Amino acid sequence: MVIEVPAASGAESAEADRSTREGEMMVGERLEVRLGAYAGTGFSWSLAGPVPANMQMTTGDPAGKTEPVAGTKARPGGATMSTFGMTAVAQGDAKMRFVLMRPWETDGKREVARTVDVEVVVKTAANSDVRATETFK
């Protein structure tokens, strides 16, 4: 399952961040959360809190791997996508919050530029005949 949130700013990003991204998947399937931002601002995406117990970060797919948006060249200030890859390892609900902020600001005044909530229900083959195949935007 792929959940993608494009790079945006101002009112456009506030509108994009209002709704929780939801989905269903099966144990053993891969979840890829792709979050857009703009290079050179100092802001980066991170998972706020631990990885849910029924999900496991995918080996070889570093948390927050950042690349230029597909089909574009890398350029200063250009749109990028940070990818968080996980595999569902057990059934249950997985709730995650991703925040876009400057990680070095440690004086208690960290500015969170964007917040994206993701909620996924993981099912086993025994309790579902539905498979997640859509890309949510």
What are 73-95's pLDDT values in tens digits? 666 677 888 889 999 999 999 99
Which CATH architecture fits 2-117? Sandwich (2.60)
pLDDT band at residue 26 under the 50/70/90 scheme:
very high
What is the arithmetic mean of pLDDT over 25-46?
89
Q: What is the pLDDT of residue 112?
A: 82
Q: Is the pLDDT of residue 23 over 90?
A: yes
Backbone angles phi, psi at 97, to 5 degrees: -125, 130
Give the residue-averaged pLDDT of 22-35: 94
Confidence grade of residue 121 (pLDDT, cut at 50, 70, 90) = very high
Give the domain ranges of the chain: 2-117
The pLDDT value given to residue 116:
93
Mean pLDDT in residue range 35-48: 86
Q: How confident is the model at residue 134, as a pLDDT?
A: 46
